[in-house]
């Protein structure tokens, strides 16, 4: 089937995998600009501001990177679960739980940075992992559908945490009107890559993780097990893979990544604490990033960067062109649409070459649909 | 009955069909006369299903003309086909498991009662199931109209498929490998039905891989190879060997001669084993048998007498309720699949696509599903792609798996080749016991010959083989000892020398008294 | 960083077209950073923004001399404020107590920029006053406003059951409104029943779940509530509209919701006004006439006009409300001492 | 008193359930025919938005000369139409372009939030466009006078009645009509549907778009029978809860209603407990007793159906029932400390209860076999 693909020469393959997405983004921008004009603003100003806000100067680059970091890690979490045939909508809650665990260890434990930082990160990972393992266990043990349970655990997490930093909450910073926790001790904060900027080493962790997850999925025996469970549970049982254990494990890893995303946000960004309104929305953005990245760890990095840049650039776009931030959401929606349905783009721009669609993972397997 | 001055009811001229990279049908001609049973033969991938799908309007031909009753017709979709009185029973069943027989029957041509609200009126199940029973009794195809398909045996499903076609008023019946999944008894029944149908005025195109059947039932036979018509003949003019040669294009050994078994020590011993099915009913009760190194123990039996659950219990896919299993003297009862694999059990499962393969994985990965965690394929949890590819290349050569490359997803392999992938994987590691379940279902003579040889080779290497099959020929030609399974028990055991079709069939049908048998 | 504030040309206002060069001609550049939540929340955030727009008009600033950033993640407070500084804005309004600390920090680093923190008390870690010269904290006694509408509710109810629908409990101003309201009712009508409901959700929903507000209002009305108070952005709005449709009197919050929420104009008695708009305009005024001095400004939160229902409110009630207002400002009444029967979770920060 | 409490809670439960039910029915049509829909949230949000715009603008342009209800009906129409339209987008993306249905759903969610917020910011809020009211409550004559049942079921706003009617109708449609039969066949085994001449993709288009109409109703009811105007993000996750209710209800209309009601009820309880007149601990105890009792009875019936012979199982079930019952009765005689549980925890009831029920009652729910897989003819 994909032997036509093998016939494609490298240039054409690059052409497909680079030009098409770029054209998709371009088209999305055109369409959005119509909306901007209708609302009485100037798309050129808006977009130049958007670009400058994302890449204009060192600080803007840094903001882009900071926005990208949690999206990469969260996106990896979602993608990995999808590979294992699980639909983890619970990332939002897992990020929250991770952040809180980070706060607890980061504010209480007394230790030198070399020990404190890893432990605090670990706390985030473990918390997220455990929190995600619960839906995993419920699915393995009772067949409770993870889509429901993860939605539920989202609400449970956010509400309990809201309470914990709320009025008289146990984690509430006592010397503050604000619903926030104490700030992490200096020993628990991520070191900066460039001093006097906000750029912490989170991005390095994220990129390393992307590679790790790639290797995990495609170069390890565990990866084979995960993907087998994802594609054909019966075959997995037939060749002796412990399916239930794997389901819990996959959710745990996925949630661990989410938790880590939360931890890095708390440990990397001043004022190094958790407040109401912190990390809101990363969960669902991670879902978008994962699918835009074709649930491939490397793809996730690029899509996360795209989303991150737009989120960062949004500031200047509002400031300069008075275009509401919601424009970004529209843009992201359109881009996702055109990249996924790239036949539209091929149609518009008359691109003949066929795309490869080898090992197309069916994201919707969690439904009991998907593989036969 | 057919003499060439009546015109054919269905005439196909120079049908050509291309798929990306494949010329599936190449200028194929075929004509079907009224009240004729026309057999279509060919290897896996020869183009039979494609041709039939074209006639039935599922695919449209690139070139060629179809005439029905002498009139040129254009068949754009199944509706057209049905309107022209063409009905088809598909190779892979086209029934909806979660629906009842009645619902499956009415689907597409629903009868309704009460207010006429078009597609929103109330389904008239009772009438349809009445009609169904009438039809069923007319052709002796008994089924329970309200049963859910998922609860039926394959044999029953087959009947439903045929009823479906008849119900839709087909005059021309296309049957694509209908007997691939039937037991001898069921097949005999089935042939009676076909004869009845023909008497009733129907005409039938019948696809199969089983030459004996062809000679038994066909009025005329057409053979395809690589999408081309090799020729058309009649049972009188031809023989099994001739047919096989036409199909494959070379000499084929139909019953492989195997050397005398040299059984050694007991390798595998099952005693008093009982197993429950998903509904928690004992479907295997108190089964005991043993297999020695270097012999093939065949379990014959009509499907649904507990073979499935028995095999699952022996391979760690299901827990046994009672009894125990010994491999090389040590107890392996209810060990999980992985540790059984490691103790040297190989398993060729009944359903190749459901259990045996990950359809989305490429061939090379499917070839290491049982061993991916062992060296050389992995060390310290990391996999070693080079050795995986090397392994794949070797096996593809050794087991002659026809594929563009080892990176092709097995999804796009023919069933024959898919089965070879499994056999290759299971036989290519040190094993004590080989458990094979329906190893050649739906495969063409070429593939069957090859797979049978592989099993013999394994035996002669000193492996103990458990062969479960509903194909009596397969059992008889491969096994050294035979046990017949009926109703969850092994009702009798015999050496192959003492066995023949009639005798086995007798026990499979549930009789047990020797004298009765001789009275027969 | 370009300091365009130094360039002293007056502006030909309004009819300035959108061209980036124009920015240089701004006498002042006013930036506004919203709290997590929407600018047009018909409440808190919107009021501050309207204030900015107003002053811009008064100062005759061009379209490019004032702008906003909507905060979507509390991790962005800092960078959002800083981007205005970097863009050479010299008056920056940050809205919401949550930005208090970071506003002060950035202010201290940029002494030449004026900062106005809405709902941000200029105190240090130990709640001791600690004014910066270039920051004004614009604060409100939400508990006063709550107390006044509470009193009004207590006077107007016929079923003797009044209710309230509130946003996040953990947002101090909301809590202050709630307890003020409760105590206000009890003050004028001790045996009236007060049923207050908060949204149980987290920050991303508790101010924007208007459907919840509406459903809750229905429940309250069926409990006999005939005067309903709403404080909590869109959640509260949902409650007010529904209560109004079901024939109850309603009371608004922050802005005069007779204006901002036309749906309720025929049943809104008044609003617990905290005139952020006025406040912002006032403080920015002090900048232009050079009288700006850092520290806290405490604007009392008062009653909005009765508008259409002016006739429905008995004269003596109006008088009583006047008196209560007096007593509140004079400190005779403290609306904020949690007492027997008030919500035990209530958190009501006493201010000086 | 007790009675009024029950009535109050049940009524509120139904009101809260309604948008969820409409959302679930949207998912039902799509997924039964093989098209997964995680975009319900977005569809409902857009519809709420257009419903408001439709009614408000119609009222504005006609200078309010027409009766309110007419404007509302115009709004309703716009809501339904836009629901169908955005569903059509989902259909084109996932059926014609065969992009993964999860992606298509995500796209819709993103676009919905973006567009509605954007337009609200640049148009609705600045112009103070105002809603024109809501549908009145219409008690059904006679029926509404029946004690208890009357107030709970028969004195609602029109769309609530519509909701009940549609649930019954959909149950009939899916399992007793040619349309339903074809819908399910296409969702379970499209190829076999194809072989009997059913146009798989056409069937899917029709169902997905019809589903959009339900999403439209779900969005509309929030505007037309609750809030009375559009407010940003007013769905606040109800679309996802609706999805949960659908799966929870095992892809059946009745099941969805049941789970939505369970949801509404527990959420209502969470609100009701804030009124301050109930003893939180006691209520929680009673509810958990109720849950145990329910679980026990459910399992009992199930096991009897399955002709379970194992006595041990029955004993455990019996224990469950007795335990639940004693807890419920006993709670009346115990003096509970009047601790008031934090609001956030009261808000957790629905989610915890769902998980409990899910693990206790529902167990393995298997979706339509072909859901999520685009259909390739060759
Ligand atoms: N849907 C398809 N897409 C692409 N190629 C196809 C498709 N179906 C069949 N082919 C090609 O056409 C050839 C003929 O296939 P066909 O199914 O007709 O074989 P067959 O004779 O039915 O084999 P079998 O005996 O295994 O059923 C195959 O070799 C395959 O390569
Ligand atoms: N979707 C497809 N794409 C490419 N090739 C296909 C596809 N479907 C079937 N084929 C080809 O059609 C040939 C026959 O297909 P068919 O479905 O009849 O299965 P088969 O497994 O060959 O039959 P059998 O079960 O008798 O072995 C195979 O060679 C397979 O490669
Ligand atoms: Mg075949
Ligand atoms: Mg075939």
Please report the pLDDT score of residue D361 as a whole number. Answer: 66
For chains A and D, count residue pairs whose Cβ atoms are closer than 8 Å: 173
Burial-class residue A15 by CB neighbours within 10 Å (0-12, 13-18, 19+): middle
- What does each C-alpha distance from A342 to A276, A349, B239, D96, D97 come to in angstroms? 39, 10, 56, 12, 9
Q: How far is the CA of D342 from the centre of ligand 4 (A)?
A: 66
Please report the pLDDT score of residue B184 as a whole number. Answer: 72
* Domain of residue A85, residue span: 66-292
Domain B1-85+171-251 annotated CATH 3.40.50.300: yes
pLDDT digit string, tens, across residues D20-36: 999 999 999 999 999 99
Q: How many residues does chain A have?
A: 372
Phi-psi region of B240 (alpha: psi -120 to 50; beta: other; left: phi over 0): alpha
Give the gyration radius of chain C's Cα atoms: 21
- Confidence bin at C39 (pLDDT 50/70/90): low
How far does the CA of residue B365 sit from the closest CA of chain A (Å)?
Answer: 9
pLDDT digit string, tens, across residues C180-227: 899 899 889 989 999 999 999 888 788 889 999 999 999 999 999 999
Per the model's pLDDT, the better-predicted residue between A122 and B354 turns out to be A122
For residue D289, is it within any domain? no
Q: Does D128 touch chain C (CB under 8 A)?
A: yes
Average pLDDT over residues C29-46: 76
Give the gyration radius of chain A's Cα atoms: 21
End-to-end Cα separation, chain A, in angstroms: 20
Please judge whether A1 and B349 are an interchain contact, meaning their C-beta atoms are less than 8 angstroms apart. no
Per the model's pLDDT, the better-predicted residue between C162 and B404 turns out to be C162
Please judge whether D12 and C218 are an interchain contact, meaning their C-beta atoms are less than 8 angstroms apart. yes
Give percent helix, percent strand, percent coil of chain C, each to the nearest 5: 45, 20, 40
Distance CA B156, CA B144 (A): 9
Per the model's pLDDT, the better-predicted residue between A254 and B448 turns out to be A254
Of the candidates A157, A82, B407, A304, the residue with the CA atom closest to the CA atom of residue D355: A157
If one residue of B17, B18, B19 were mutated to test the ligand 1 pocket, choosing by the most ligand atoms within 8 A of its CB, it would be B19
Nearest residue of D to residue C43, measured between CA atoms: D125
Please report the pLDDT score of residue D47 as a whole number. Answer: 98
Ligand 1, atom nearest to B414 Cα? 26
Instruction: Tell me the chain C residues in contact with residue A167 when contact means C-beta distances shorter than 8 Å.
Output: 169-170, 175, 345-347
Average pLDDT over residues D265-274: 92
For residue A139, is it within any domain? yes
D188 close to B96: Cβ distance less than 8 angstroms: yes
Report the neighbours of A using a cutoff of 3 or more CB pairs below 8 angstroms.
Answer: B, C, D
Half-sphere exposure of C223 (CA within 13 A, CB side): 30
Pairing relationship of beta strands C66-69 and C30-33 according to DSSP bridges? parallel
Q: Which residues of chain B have pLDDT under 70?
A: 1-5, 181, 253-255, 513-520
Residue A274 backbone dihedrals phi, psi, to 5 degrees: -115, 120
How far does the CA of residue D282 sit from the closest CA of chain B (Å)?
Answer: 41
- Confidence bin at D364 (pLDDT 50/70/90): low
Average pLDDT over residues C138-163: 93
H-type helices in chain A, by residue range? 3-7, 10-14, 20-38, 43-55, 58-83, 91-108, 113-142, 146-165, 202-219, 221-231, 233-238, 243-268, 282-292, 297-321, 326-340, 342-349
Structure tokens that stand for B276 in this block: 């429950």
Distance CA D132, CA D119 (A): 19
What would the DSSP string read from start to end of A134-181?
HHHHHHHHH---HHHHHHHHHHHHHHHHHHHHSTT-TT--TT-SSSBP
Please report the pLDDT score of residue B159 as a whole number. Answer: 86
Per the model's pLDDT, the better-predicted residue between A168 and C154 turns out to be C154
Average pLDDT over residues C280-293: 90
Does the structure's ipTM exceed the value 0.85? yes
pLDDT digit string, tens, across residues D276-330: 888 888 888 888 888 888 888 888 888 888 777 788 888 988 999 999 999 988 8
Average pLDDT over residues C252-269: 91
Distance CA A46, CA A44 (A): 5
Decide: helix, strand or coil at residue B265: coil
Per the model's pLDDT, the better-predicted residue between C301 and D98 turns out to be D98
Q: How far is the CA of B478 from the centre of ligand 4 (A)?
A: 26
Q: Do domains B1-85+171-251 and B266-518 have the same CATH topology?
A: yes
Angle at C162 between CA C156 and CA C165, to 5 degrees: 125
Structure tokens that stand for D67 in this block: 């009766």
For residue D279, is it within any domain? no
Please judge whether D118 and A326 are an interchain contact, meaning their C-beta atoms are less than 8 angstroms apart. yes
Q: Which CATH superfamily is domain B266-518 in?
A: P-loop containing nucleotide triphosphate hydrolases (3.40.50.300)
For residue A39, is it within any domain? no
What is the residue extent of each domain of chain B? 1-85+171-251, 100-168, 266-518
Q: Find out whether the peptide bond into A132 is cis, omega within 30 degrees of 0.
A: no
Show Cβ contacts of residue B249 under 8 Å, excluding neighbours closer than 6 positions.
B225
Q: Among partner residues C67, C171, C202, which is closest to A322 by beta-carbon distance?
A: C67
Report the neighbours of B using a cutoff of 3 or more CB pairs below 8 angstroms.
Answer: A, D
Whether chains C and B touch (3+ CB pairs under 8 A) is answered by no
- What does each C-alpha distance from B99 to B149, D32, D145, D199, D322 come to in angstroms? 6, 13, 43, 19, 39
Ligand 2 pocket (Cβ < 6 Å) reads A 1; B 44-45, 49, 91, 177, 412-416, 442-443
Around Cβ C158, how many Cβ atoms within 10 Å? 9
For residue A24, is it within any domain? no
Please report the pLDDT score of residue D86 as a whole number. Answer: 97
Q: pTM, whole model, 2 decimals?
A: 0.89
Q: How far is the CA of B225 from the centre of ligand 1 (A)?
A: 12
Decide: helix, strand or coil at residue A86: coil
Nearest residue of C to residue A311, measured between CA atoms: C72
For residue D131, is it within any domain? yes
B215 close to B240: Cβ distance less than 8 angstroms: yes
Which ligand gives the minimal distance to the CA of B441? Answer: 2
Structure tokens that stand for A127 in this block: 């918390």
Instruction: Tell me the chain A residues in contact with residue D114 when contact means C-beta distances shorter than 8 Å.
Output: 326-333
| Ligand 1 touching residue B446 (CB < 6 A) | no
Bridge partners of C91? C30, C114
The total domain count for chain A is: 1
Of the candidates B113, B136, B115, the residue with the CA atom closest to the CA atom of residue B126: B113
Q: How far is the CA of B16 from the centre of ligand 3 (A)?
A: 19
């Amino acid at each position: 089937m994909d032997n036509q693909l093998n016939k494609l020469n490298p240039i054409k393959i690059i052409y497909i995998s680079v030009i098409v997405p770029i054209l998709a983004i371009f088209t999305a921008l055109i369409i959005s600009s119509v909306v901007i004009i209708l609302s009485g603003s100037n798309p050129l100003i808006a977009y130049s501001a958007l670009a400058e806000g994302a890449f204009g100067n060192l600080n803007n680059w840094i903001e882009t990177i900071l926005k990208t970091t949690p999206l990469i890690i969260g996106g990896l979490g979602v993608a990995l679960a999808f590979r294992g045939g699980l639909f983890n909508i619970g990332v939002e809650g897992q990020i929250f739980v991770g952040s809180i665990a980070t706060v607890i260890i980061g504010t209480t434990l007394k230790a030198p940075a070399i020990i404190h930082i890893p432990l605090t990160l670990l706390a985030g990972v473990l918390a997220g992992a455990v929190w995600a393992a619960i839906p995993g266990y419920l699915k393995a043990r009772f067949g409770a559908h993870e889509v429901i349970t993860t939605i539920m655990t989202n609400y449970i997490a956010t509400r309990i945490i809201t309470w914990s930093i709320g009025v008289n909450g146990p984690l509430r910073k006592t010397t503050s009107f604000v619903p926030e926790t104490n700030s992490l001790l200096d020993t628990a904060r991520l070191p900066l890559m460039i001093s006097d900027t906000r750029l912490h080493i989170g991005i390095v962790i994220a990129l390393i993780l992307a590679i790790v997850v790639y290797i995990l999925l495609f170069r390890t025996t565990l990866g084979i097990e995960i993907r087998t469970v994802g594609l054909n549970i019966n075959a997995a049982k037939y060749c002796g893979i412990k399916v239930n254990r794997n389901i819990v494990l996959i959710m745990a890893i996925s949630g661990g990544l989410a938790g880590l995303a939360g931890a890095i946000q708390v440990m990397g960004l001043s004022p190094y604490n958790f407040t109401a309104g912190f990390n809101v929305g990363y969960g669902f953005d991670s879902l978008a990033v994962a699918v835009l990245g074709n649930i491939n760890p490397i793809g996730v990095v690029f899509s996360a960067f795209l989303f991150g840049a737009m989120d960062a650039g949004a500031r200047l776009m509002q400031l300069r062109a008075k275009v509401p931030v919601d424009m970004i959401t529209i843009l992201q929606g359109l881009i996702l649409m055109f990249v996924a349905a790239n036949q539209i783009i091929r149609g518009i721009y008359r691109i003949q070459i066929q795309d490869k669609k080898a090992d197309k993972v069916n994201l919707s397997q969690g439904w009991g649909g998907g593989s036969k | 009955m057919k003499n060439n001055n009546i015109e054919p009811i269905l005439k196909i001229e120079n049908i050509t069909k291309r798929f990306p990279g494949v010329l599936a049908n190449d200028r194929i001609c075929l004509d079907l006369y009224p009240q004729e049973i026309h057999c279509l033969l060919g290897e896996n991938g020869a183009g039979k299903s494609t041709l039939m799908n074209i006639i039935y309007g599922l695919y449209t031909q690139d070139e060629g003309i179809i005439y029905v009753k002498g009139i040129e017709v254009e068949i754009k979709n199944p509706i057209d086909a049905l309107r022209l009185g063409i009905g088809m029973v598909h190779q892979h069943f086209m029934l909806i498991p979660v629906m009842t027989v009645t619902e499956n029957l009415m689907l597409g041509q629903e009868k309704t009662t009460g207010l006429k609200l078009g597609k929103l009126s109330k389904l008239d199940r009772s009438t349809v199931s009445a009609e169904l029973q009438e039809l069923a009794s007319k052709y002796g195809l008994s089924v329970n109209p309200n049963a859910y398909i998922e609860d039926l045996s394959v044999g029953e499903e087959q009947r439903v498929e045929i009823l479906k076609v008849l119900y839709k008023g087909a005059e021309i019946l296309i049957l694509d490998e209908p007997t691939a999944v039937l037991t001898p008894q069921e097949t005999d029944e089935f042939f009676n039905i076909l004869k009845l149908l023909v008497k009733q005025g129907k005409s039938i195109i019948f696809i199969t891989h089983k030459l004996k059947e062809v000679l038994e039932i066909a009025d005329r036979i057409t053979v395809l190879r690589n999408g081309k018509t090799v020729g058309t003949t009649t049972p009188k003019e031809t023989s099994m060997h001739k047919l096989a040669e036409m199909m494959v294009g070379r000499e084929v050994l139909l019953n492989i001669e195997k050397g005398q078994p040299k059984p050694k020590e007991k390798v595998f011993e099952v005693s008093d084993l009982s197993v429950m099915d998903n509904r928690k009913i004992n479907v295997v009760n108190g089964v005991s048998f043993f297999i020695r190194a270097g012999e093939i123990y065949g379990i014959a039996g009509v499907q649904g007498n507990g073979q499935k659950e028995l095999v699952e219990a022996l391979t760690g896919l299901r827990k046994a309720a009672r009894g125990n299993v010994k491999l090389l003297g040590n107890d392996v009862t209810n060990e999980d699949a992985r540790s059984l694999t490691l103790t040297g059990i190989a398993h060729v499962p009944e359903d190749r696509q459901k259990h045996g393969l990950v359809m989305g994985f490429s061939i090379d990965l499917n070839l290491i599903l049982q061993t991916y965690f062992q060296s050389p394929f992995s060390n310290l949890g990391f996999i070693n792609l080079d050795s995986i590819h090397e392994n794949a290349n070797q096996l593809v050569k050794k087991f002659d798996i026809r594929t563009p490359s080892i990176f092709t997803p097995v999804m796009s392999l023919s069933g024959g080749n898919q089965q070879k992938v499994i056999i290759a994987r299971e036989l290519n590691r040190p094993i004590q016991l080989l458990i094979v379940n329906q190893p050649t279902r739906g495969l063409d003579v070429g593939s069957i010959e090859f797979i049978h040889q592989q099993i013999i080779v394994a035996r002669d290497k000193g492996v103990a083989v458990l062969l479960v099959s509903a194909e009596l020929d397969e059992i008889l030609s491969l096994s050294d000892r035979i046990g017949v399974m009926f109703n969850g028990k092994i009702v009798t055991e015999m050496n192959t020398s003492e066995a023949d079709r009639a005798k086995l069939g007798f026990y499979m049908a549930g009789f047990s008294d020797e004298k009765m048998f001789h009275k027969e | 960083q370009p300091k365009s504030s130094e360039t002293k040309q007056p502006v030909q206002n309004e009819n300035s077209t959108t061209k980036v060069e124009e920015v240089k001609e701004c006498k002042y550049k006013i930036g506004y950073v919203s709290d997590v939540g929407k600018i047009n929340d018909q409440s808190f955030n919107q009021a501050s923004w309207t204030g900015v727009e107003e002053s811009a008009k008064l100062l005759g600033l061009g379209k490019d001399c004032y702008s906003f950033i909507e905060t979507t993640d509390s991790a962005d407070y800092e960078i959002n404020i800083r981007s205005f500084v970097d863009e050479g804005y010299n008056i920056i309004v940050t809205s919401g107590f949550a930005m208090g600390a970071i506003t002060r920090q950035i202010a201290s680093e940029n002494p030449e920029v004026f900062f106005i923190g809405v709902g941000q008390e200029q105190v240090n870690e130990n709640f001791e006053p600690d004014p910066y010269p270039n920051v004004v904290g614009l604060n409100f006694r939400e508990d006063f406003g709550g107390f006044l509408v509470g009193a009004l509710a207590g006077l107007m109810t016929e079923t003797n059951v009044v209710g309230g629908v509130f946003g996040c409990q953990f947002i101090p101003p909301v809590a202050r409104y709630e307890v003020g309201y409760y105590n206000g009712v009890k003050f004028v009508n001790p045996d009236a029943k007060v049923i207050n409901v908060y949204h149980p959700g987290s920050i991303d929903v508790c101010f924007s779940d208007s459907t919840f507000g509406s459903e809750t209002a229905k429940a309250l009305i069926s409990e006999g509530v005939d005067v309903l108070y709403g404080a909590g952005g869109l959640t509260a709005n949902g409650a007010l509209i529904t209560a109004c449709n079901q024939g109850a009197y309603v009371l608004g919050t922050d802005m005069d919701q007779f204006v901002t929420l036309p749906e309720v104009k025929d049943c809104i008695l008044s609003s617990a006004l905290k005139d952020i708009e006025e406040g912002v305009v006032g403080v920015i005024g002090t900048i232009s006439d050079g009288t700006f001095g850092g520290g806290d400004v405490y604007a009392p939160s008062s009653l909005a006009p009765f508008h259409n229902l002016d006739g429905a409110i008995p004269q003596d009630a109006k008088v009583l409300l006047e008196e209560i207002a007096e007593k509140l400002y004079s400190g005779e009444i403290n609306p904020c001492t949690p007492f027997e029967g008030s919500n035990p979770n209530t958190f009501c920060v006493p201010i000086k | 008193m007790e009675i009024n409490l029950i009535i109050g809670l049940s009524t509120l439960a139904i009101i809260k359930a309604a948008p969820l039910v409409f959302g679930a029915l949207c998912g039902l049509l799509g997924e039964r025919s093989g098209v997964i829909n995680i975009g319900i949230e977005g569809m409902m949000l857009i519809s709420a938005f257009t419903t408001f715009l439709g009614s408000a603008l119609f009222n504005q342009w006609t200078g309010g000369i027409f009766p309110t209800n007419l404007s509302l009906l115009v709004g309703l129409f716009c809501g339904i139409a836009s629901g169908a339209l955005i569903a059509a987008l989902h259909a084109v993306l996932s059926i014609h372009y065969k992009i993964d249905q999860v992606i298509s759903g995500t796209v819709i969610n993103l676009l919905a939030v973006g567009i509605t917020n954007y337009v609200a910011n640049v148009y609705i809020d600045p112009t103070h466009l105002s809603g024109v009211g809501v549908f009145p409550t219409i008690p059904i004559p006679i029926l509404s006078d029946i004690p208890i049942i009357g107030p709970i079921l028969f004195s609602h706003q029109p769309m609530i009645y519509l909701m009940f009617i549609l649930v019954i109708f959909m149950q009939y449609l899916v399992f007793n009509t040619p349309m339903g039969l074809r819908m399910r066949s296409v969702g379970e085994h499209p190829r076999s549907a194809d072989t009997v001449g059913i146009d798989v993709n056409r069937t899917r288009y029709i169902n997905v778009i019809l589903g959009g109409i339900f999403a439209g109703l779900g969005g509309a009811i929030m505007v037309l029978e609750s809030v009375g105007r559009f407010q940003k993000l007013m769905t606040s996750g109800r679309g996802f809860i609706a999805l949960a209710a659908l799966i929870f209800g095992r892809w059946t209309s009745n099941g969805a209603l049941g789970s939505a009601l369970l949801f509404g009820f527990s959420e209502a309880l969470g609100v009701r407990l804030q009124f301050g007149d109930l003893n939180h601990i006691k209520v929680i105890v009673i509810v958990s007793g109720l849950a145990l009792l329910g679980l026990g009875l459910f399992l009992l019936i199930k096991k009897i159906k399955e002709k379970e012979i194992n006595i041990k199982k029955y004993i455990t079930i019996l224990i469950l029932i007795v335990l639940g019952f004693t807890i419920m009765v006993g709670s009346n005689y115990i003096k509970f400390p009047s601790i008031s549980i934090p609001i956030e925890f009261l808000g957790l009831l629905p989610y915890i209860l769902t998980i409990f029920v899910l693990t206790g009652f529902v167990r393995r729910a298997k979706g339509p076999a072909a859901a999520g897989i685009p259909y390739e003819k060759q």
